[in-house]
Amino acid sequence: MVTDSGMMGTDSGPGVDSGMMGTDSGTPGGSCAAPMVTSVCLPQAVVRVRALLGAGMASMTGTLRANLYHMNLGGGASGGFRHTGGSRAGVTISDTTAAEVHFDMCAEGEMWSEENCGYNLWVYLDRNGNSALDAGEPAGRTEVDVNCHDSAAGCHTVVLGCTAGMSCAAFTDPGSCSCRSPNCAGIGSAGRISTCS
Split at pLDDT 50, 70, 90, the class of 74 is: confident
Compute the Cα dihedral for 168, 55, 130, 119 and give only its sign. Answer: positive
Q: Which of 168, 169, 172, 196 is nearest to 183 (CA)?
A: 196
pTM for the model stands at 0.85
Kind and range of the H or E element at 50?
A: strand 46-53
- Overall number of domains in the chain: 1
Rounded average pLDDT over 81-106: 97
Ramachandran class of 80: left when φ > 0, alpha when ψ lies in -120 to 50, beta otherwise: left
Establish if 4 belongs to a structural domain. Answer: no
pLDDT of 14 reads 32
- Rg of the chain taking only CA atoms, in angstroms: 16
Q: Does the pLDDT at position 68 exceed 60?
A: yes
Expressed as residue numbers, the domain containing 72 is 24-169
For the chain, give the mean pLDDT. Answer: 86
Establish if 107 belongs to a structural domain. Answer: yes
Establish if 190 belongs to a structural domain. Answer: no
Rounded average pLDDT over 136-151: 97
| CATH code of the domain containing 139 | 2.60.40
Ramachandran class of 166: left when φ > 0, alpha when ψ lies in -120 to 50, beta otherwise: alpha
